[in-house]
Amino acid sequence: MAEKITVAIGSDHAGFALKNFLRDTLTEEGYTVIDCGTDSAASCDYPIYAEKTADAIRNHSAELAILCCGTGIGMSMAANKIKGIRAACCSDIFSARFTRLHNDANILCMGARVVGEGLALELAHAFLETGYEGGKHARRVEMMMALENKD
**Burial label, 22 (beta-carbon count in 10 A; 0-12, 13-18, 19+):** buried
- Say whether 102 is catalytic: yes
- Say whether 69 is catalytic: yes
Residues in Cβ contact with 23 at an 8 Å cutoff, skipping those fewer than 6 apart? 9, 33, 35
Q: Considering the candidates 36, 68, 69, 109, report the single residue annotated as catalytic.
A: 69
Q: Considering the candidates 44, 102, 125, 137, report the single residue annotated as catalytic.
A: 102
Nearest to 41 by CA among 70, 75, 66: 70
Among all residues, which ones are annotated catalytic? 69, 102
